[in-house]
């Protein structure tokens, strides 16, 4: 059964790796690269919010902080762009700890509200501190991570594959089991002797690490950092990808991120239309496809495939697929 | 002196917003992320009626409040009710609605800031300070509205039903209070309060698609500081924040106001998560 | 024998309502003690306070020589005081085995385990009689299975004292006997102390060594089952009404 998952993943990665060979042109390749970066974000968001069921409306906080600090490192301190990556990860993790400590030890809506407020305020703060952050203009003239667009595409692909592999691995580990238990019933987790707060903050820090990583990649891809990274619209797009992909599945949001980025890029000239599409997609997903589209589609496909190979079902693995309760 | 008068005006607008937000939480246990969208819808409804429909200012504003209240009821009926079993789904749907409204308005009105005419022109001298009459009217109407809400909840039968549901939803259901109808009503009320804040404040602020976001974030902050679900707590926190903000705006700069409120929230959550007047453990 | 748990004047107020008032008792190691009382007497509130799920308004709980009042509930579990819930609380969307495995991941369970959590969970499933159903998602388990699942998850932390809140409620006769046998075994073989709330009186009285009777949040009697059934106050507050209940059961 696992071999089908592995096979599917290899096939998908091989297809993505082969795409530049078709000579798609710089523009399309750029859009694809953006999709890969969104994939890292969607997987990172899903790891915390999809598994534990704690809505995070301020994921832009981690993305923006990662991108800005990566940008500062590059433009102010003239460090190598590659050095920005660990900086972005570190900044994301620290921010997660700072926001998580006061809010995640509480039950109820405090985390959701505080994350939203924190990202909105950070966007304001960037504008207020324009002397250092460049205000609306943001940071410009960053060094590229690698010279050619094709090379950057492969760098982004490598990071996406690595991130998704790590997050998938973790979500099927004991840590993932505990996080899904937290989504089910926090009090029962405590009765099982688990420090729920510790696990929630830990998963937020892991989630934020990938937000920061993607932020730095994005900065060195656009060669520019702007305050919109902190915005609700940013978080909203990522949340929609996770919902369309299937909460808690990690791979679903990754696929949805790539597909949606490509699809909505067609709407880029219309700016607002693109975000309107995301909001409407999210509403539709909430009502009509509670488990998303990508993950259930894959589950159905692999059932069909495995029925072809041998008839024995494996209830245990199926049960680990994301539940219906959000 | 100016700080006191203007601080009171700011506080009253915040209180209108925060009371509606905390009311719907206290009764239906919903964090309504579309609260900011209500604020924006009212602003645009008034703008359309006045500038495109040629309505006089007062009827247009009353109609805008009514339209927003109906919008609130519709949001509750159509979108929130089917998802009520999951907190995360309710959060998501209200956020999606608020984004859809914001983006829809951007598409329709190109994102430019518009302005509303004031209900009354001119300046009034209060405590030796010249204040725009519209601001003073805002303060007055806010106080009256919140007082009316208080009376409604404490004195009327419907208010008693609302209180009963907020204290014990199961028991309320048991004695035959129709919870879903009350939730829709409260959502409408909450939207009407946000709409009133909007039509009162828009003449001296402005109307734009994202106009609801920052006021909503302030409403969160106020509600957390005052204690989730506590109406007196919200009013107290609104005053605290309104005066602090006005004071800071006078002496330092107005741009820091959101930063201050969010910093206050984090301090509050770290020290006293229940808020100033909150007793109840959140859901 | 030494004392494993001591309740010293526990008081809990909900608004104007006094749910527990100056509750005092002590539990000896390795004994089975029952909490008796009519509905609303404060039994579940007592469990919630003892296990740290809600704070006490006043008073102290001493477990194994350590004051645990005000401690986080998961810490208390990791000292060896585990509990089950009045209504079973499984993790939806997971299999029975995974549910038990979650219980095996706490620090105390990890420190005492000689095997991997999954192996340990399988052994516990076997122990409570869920081995055949360990791969089934909890949505498809019977009520009795869910009760046993709750107990298995609590046992995973290697408790020295287990609080059981109505473990027999909702079970048929065919499910009741095996569970009682299991509880007796755990007590006899592993020296597990048990504090139990149960409304099925005949089973309850046969299981317990001692009874603490509560009414209106106060301890009204404390003694052996034989003493309790003769206690005038207990009869007045509870047993009178309970006979009707027993009759309904039959």
Give the Cα separation of A246 and A232 in Å (integer).
21
User: Is the model more confident about A122 or about B253?
Assistant: A122
- A54, A117, A127 ranked by CB distance to B217: nearest: A117
- Check A110 against B282: CB less than 8 A apart: yes
Q: What is the pLDDT of residues A74-131, one digit of tens each?
A: 988 888 989 999 999 999 999 999 999 999 988 778 899 899 999 988 998 999 888 8
- Check B31 against A109: CB less than 8 A apart: yes
- Tell me the chain A residues in contact with residue C82 when contact means C-beta distances shorter than 8 Å: 191, 193
pTM: 0.89
Dihedral (CA of A204, A209, A214, A215) sign: positive
* Residue B113 to residues A1, A264, B47, B195, C80, Cα–Cα distance (Å): 57, 27, 11, 18, 63
Asked if the structure places residue B172 within a domain, the reply is yes
**Lowest mean per-residue pLDDT among A150-154, B240-244, B274-278, C188-192:** B274-278
Give the Cα separation of B256 and B276 in Å (integer).
23
Rounded to the nearest integer, the mean pLDDT of chain A is 88
- Tell me the chain B residues in contact with residue A51 when contact means C-beta distances shorter than 8 Å: none
Burial pattern C145-175, b for ≥16 Cβ within 10 A else e, equals bbbbbbbbbbbbbbbbbbbbbbbbeebeeeb
CB pairs under 8 A between A and C: 103
- Check B100 against A280: CB less than 8 A apart: yes
- Check A114 against B259: CB less than 8 A apart: no
pLDDT over 70 at B219, yes or no: yes
- Check B213 against A287: CB less than 8 A apart: no
What average pLDDT does range B250-262 have in this prediction?
A: 78
- Residue C36, strand partner residues: C213
Domain with CATH 3.40.50.300 in chain C: 1-80+160-249
> Which positions in chain C have a beta carbon within 8 angstroms of at least one beta carbon in chain A?
51, 53, 72-75, 77-78, 82-85, 89-95, 97-99, 101-103, 105-109, 117, 135-137, 153-154, 156-157
A315 touches chain C (CB under 8 A): yes
Predicted-complex ipTM score: 0.86
A312 touches chain C (CB under 8 A): no
Asked if the structure places residue B219 within a domain, the reply is no
User: Is the model more confident about B124 or about A300?
Assistant: A300
- A185, A193, A316 ranked by CB distance to C109: nearest: A193
Could you give the angle at the alpha carbon of B115 between the alpha carbons of B24 and B132, nearest 5°? 85
Asked if the structure places residue B68 within a domain, the reply is yes
pLDDT over 70 at A322, yes or no: no
What 3-state class would DSSP assign to A266? coil
**Lowest mean per-residue pLDDT among A231-235, A320-324, B218-222:** A320-324
Find the length of chain B.
283
Question: Phi and psi at residue C21, in whole multiples of 5°?
Answer: -135, 110
H helix runs in C116-224, sequence order: 117-128, 143-155, 173-190, 201-207
Q: Identify the chains in contact with B, defined as 3+ C-beta pairs within 8 A.
A: A
Fold for the domain defined by C1-80+160-249:
Rossmann fold (3.40.50)
Q: Identify the chains in contact with C, defined as 3+ C-beta pairs within 8 A.
A: A
pLDDT over 50 at A314, yes or no: no
Nearest CA in chain A to B91: A55
The token duo for C22 is: 């100056």
Farthest CA pair distance, chain C: 52
| Test mutation, B79, B230, B266, chain A, max A CBs within 10 A | B266
- Residue C81, strand partner residues: C161
What average pLDDT does range B34-59 have in this prediction?
A: 92
Contact partners, residue C231, CB within 8 Å, separation at least 6: C213, C220, C221, C223
Give the Cα separation of A5 and A164 in Å (integer).
13
Q: What percent of chain B has pLDDT over 90?
A: 37
What average pLDDT does range A185-210 have in this prediction?
A: 95
Fold for the domain defined by A12-301:
ABC transporter involved in vitamin B12 uptake, BtuC (1.10.3470)
Q: Distance between alpha carbon C133 and the CA centroid of its chain, in Å?
A: 24
The token duo for C178 is: 């095996």
- Tell me the chain B residues in contact with residue A282 when contact means C-beta distances shorter than 8 Å: 92, 95-96, 99
Closest CA to A97 of A200, A236, A179, A248: A200
Number of domains in chain B: 1
- Check A192 against C72: CB less than 8 A apart: no
Asked if the structure places residue B39 within a domain, the reply is yes
A 254-273: CB under 8 A from B = 270-273
Please tell me the predicted confidence (pLDDT) of residue C173: 85
The token duo for A183 is: 């989504």
What average pLDDT does range A141-153 have in this prediction?
A: 90
- Check A112 against B31: CB less than 8 A apart: yes
- Check A120 against B213: CB less than 8 A apart: yes
Domain ranges of chain A: 12-301
Shortest Cα distance, chain A CAs vs residue C55, angstroms: 14
Contact partners, residue B155, CB within 8 Å, separation at least 6: none
Split at pLDDT 50, 70, 90, the class of A247 is very high
Give the Cα separation of B171 and B169 in Å (integer).
6
Asked if the structure places residue B74 within a domain, the reply is yes
Are the C-beta atoms of C53 and A188 separated by less than 8 Å? no
- Check A193 against C103: CB less than 8 A apart: yes
User: Is the model more confident about B212 or about A60?
Assistant: A60
User: Is the model more confident about B253 or about C112?
Assistant: C112
* Residue A105 to residues A109, B229, B274, Cα–Cα distance (Å): 11, 19, 13
Give the Cα separation of B164 and C76 in Å (integer).
36
Burial pattern A22-57, b for ≥16 Cβ within 10 A else e, equals eeeeeeebbbbbbbbbbbbbbbbbbbbbbbbbbbbb
Nearest CA in chain A to B274: A106
Give the Cα separation of B230 and B272 in Å (integer).
15
The token duo for C1 is: 């024998």
Please tell me the predicted confidence (pLDDT) of residue A66: 96
- H, E, C per residue of chain B: CHHHHHHHHHHHHHHHHHHHHHHHHHHHCCCCCCHHHHHHHHHHHHHHHHHHCCCCHHHHHHHHHHHHHHHHHHHHHHHHHHHCCCHHHHHHHHHHHHHHHHHHHHHHHCCCCECCCCCCCCEEEECCEEEEHHHHHHHHHHHHHHHHHHHHHHHCHHHHHHHHHHHCHHHHHHCCCCHHHHHHHHHHHHHHHHHHHHHHHCCCCCECHHHHHHHHHHHHHHHHHHCCCCHHHHHHHHHHHHHHHHHHHHHCCHHHHHHHHHHHHHHHHHHCCCCCCCCCCCC
User: Is the model more confident about A19 or about B254?
Assistant: A19
A174 touches chain C (CB under 8 A): yes
Shortest Cα distance, chain A CAs vs residue B7, angstroms: 21
Please tell me the predicted confidence (pLDDT) of residue A315: 41
- Tell me the chain A residues in contact with residue C78 when contact means C-beta distances shorter than 8 Å: 193
What average pLDDT does range A206-211 have in this prediction?
A: 97
Asked if the structure places residue B36 within a domain, the reply is yes
The region that residue A178 occupies, defined by phi over 0 for left and psi between -120 and 50 for alpha, beta otherwise, is alpha
- Check A110 against B256: CB less than 8 A apart: no
Please tell me the predicted confidence (pLDDT) of residue A151: 94
Domain that holds residue B198: 9-211
Please tell me the predicted confidence (pLDDT) of residue C238: 67
Low-confidence ranges of chain C (pLDDT < 70): 1, 238-250
Q: What is the pLDDT of residues B135-173, one digit of tens each?
A: 888 999 999 999 999 999 888 888 888 888 888 777 787
Split at pLDDT 50, 70, 90, the class of A153 is very high
- Check C108 against A193: CB less than 8 A apart: yes
């Amino acid at each position: 059964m696992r071999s089908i998952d592995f096979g599917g993943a290899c096939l998908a990665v091989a297809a993505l790796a082969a795409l530049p060979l078709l000579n798609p042109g710089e523009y399309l390749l750029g859009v694809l690269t953006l999709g890969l970066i969104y994939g890292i974000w969607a997987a990172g968001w899903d790891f915390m919010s999809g598994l534990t069921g704690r809505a995070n409306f301020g994921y832009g906080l981690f993305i923006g902080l990662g991108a800005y600090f990566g940008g500062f490192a590059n433009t102010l301190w003239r460090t190598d762009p590659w050095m920005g990556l660990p900086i972005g990860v570190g900044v994301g993790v620290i921010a997660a700890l700072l926001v998580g400590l006061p809010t995640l030890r509480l039950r109820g809506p405090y985390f959701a509200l505080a994350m939203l407020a924190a990202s909105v305020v950070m966007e304001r703060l960037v504008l207020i501190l324009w002397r250092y952050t460049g205000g609306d203009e943001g940071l410009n003239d960053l060094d590229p991570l690698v010279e050619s667009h094709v090379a950057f595409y492969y760098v982004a692909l490598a990071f996406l594959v690595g991130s998704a592999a790590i997050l998938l691995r973790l979500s099927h580990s004991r840590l993932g089991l505990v996080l899904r238990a937290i989504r089910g019933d926090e009090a029962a987790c405590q009765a099982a002797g688990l420090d729920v707060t510790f696990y929630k903050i830990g998963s937020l820090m892991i989630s934020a690490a990938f937000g920061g990583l993607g932020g730095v990649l994005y900065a060195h891809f656009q060669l520019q950092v702007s305050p919109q990274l902190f915005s609700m619209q940013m978080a909203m797009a990522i949340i929609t990808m996770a919902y369309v992909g299937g909460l808690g599945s990690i791979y679903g949001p990754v696929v949805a991120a790539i597909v949606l980025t490509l699809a909505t890029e067609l709407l880029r000239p219309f700016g607002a239309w693109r975000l309107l599409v995301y909001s409407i997609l999210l509403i539709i997903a909430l009502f009509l496809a509670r488990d998303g589209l990508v993950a259930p589609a894959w589950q159905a496909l692999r059932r069909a495939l495995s029925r072809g190979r041998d008839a024995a079902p494996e209830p245990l693995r199926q049960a680990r697929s994301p539940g219906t309760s959000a | 002196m100016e700080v006191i008068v203007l601080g009171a005006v700011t506080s009253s607008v915040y209180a209108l917003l925060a009371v509606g937000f905390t009311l719907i939480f206290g009764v239906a246990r919903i964090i309504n992320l579309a609260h900011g969208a209500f604020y924006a819808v009212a602003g645009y409804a008034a703008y359309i009626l006045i500038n495109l429909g040629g309505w006089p200012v007062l009827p247009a504003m009353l109609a805008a409040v009514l339209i927003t209240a109906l919008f609130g009821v519709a949001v509750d009926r159509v979108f929130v009710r089917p998802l009520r079993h999951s907190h995360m789904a309710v959060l998501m749907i209200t956020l999606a609605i608020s984004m859809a409204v914001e983006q829809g308005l951007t598409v329709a009105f190109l994102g430019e800031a518009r302005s509303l005419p004031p209900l009354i022109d001119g300046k009034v001298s209060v405590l030796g300070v010249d204040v725009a009459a519209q601001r003073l009217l805002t303060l007055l109407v806010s106080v009256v509205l919140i007082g009316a809400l208080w009376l409604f909840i404490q004195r009327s039968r419907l208010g008693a039903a609302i209180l009963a549901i907020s204290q014990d939803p199961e028991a309320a259901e048991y004695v035959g209070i129709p919870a879903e109808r009350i939730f829709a009503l409260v959502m409408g009320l909450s939207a009407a309060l946000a709409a009133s804040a909007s039509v009162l404040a828009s003449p001296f602020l402005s109307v734009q698609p994202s106009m609801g976001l920052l006021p909503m974030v302030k409403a969160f902050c106020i509600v957390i500081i005052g204690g989730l679900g506590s109406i007196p707590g919200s009013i107290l926190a609104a005053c605290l924040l309104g005066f602090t903000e006005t004071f800071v705006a006078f002496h330092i700069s107005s741009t820091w106001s959101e930063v201050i409120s969010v910093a206050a929230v984090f301090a509050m959550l770290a020290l006293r998560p229940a808020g100033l007047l909150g007793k109840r453990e959140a859901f | 024998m030494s004392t494993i748990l001591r309740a010293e004047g526990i008081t809990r107020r909900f608004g104007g309502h006094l749910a527990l008032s100056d509750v005092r008792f002590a539990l000896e190691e390795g004994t089975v003690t029952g909490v008796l009382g009519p509905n609303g007497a404060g039994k579940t509130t007592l469990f919630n306070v003892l296990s740290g799920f809600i704070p006490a308004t006043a008073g102290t709980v001493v477990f194994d020589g350590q004051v645990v009042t005000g401690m986080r509930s998961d810490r208390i579990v990791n000292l060896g005081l585990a509990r089950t819930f009045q209504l079973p609380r499984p993790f939806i969307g997971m299999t029975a085995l995974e549910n038990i495995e979650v219980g095996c991941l706490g620090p105390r369970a990890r420190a005492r385990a000689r095997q991997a959590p999954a192996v340990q969970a399988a052994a516990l499933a076997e122990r409570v009689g869920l081995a055949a159903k360990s791969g089934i998602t909890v949505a498809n388990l019977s009520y009795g299975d869910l009760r046993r699942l709750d107990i298995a998850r609590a046992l995973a932390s290697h408790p020295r004292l287990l609080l059981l809140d109505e473990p027999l409620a909702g079970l048929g006769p065919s499910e009741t006997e095996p569970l009682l046998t299991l509880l007796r075994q755990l007590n006899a073989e592993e020296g597990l102390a048990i504090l139990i709330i149960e409304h099925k009186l005949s089973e309850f009285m046969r299981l317990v060594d001692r009874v603490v009777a509560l009414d209106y949040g106060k301890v009204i009697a404390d003694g052996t089952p034989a003493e309790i059934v003769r206690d005038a106050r207990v009869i007045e507050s509870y047993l009178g009404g309970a006979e009707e209940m027993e009759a309904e059961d039959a």
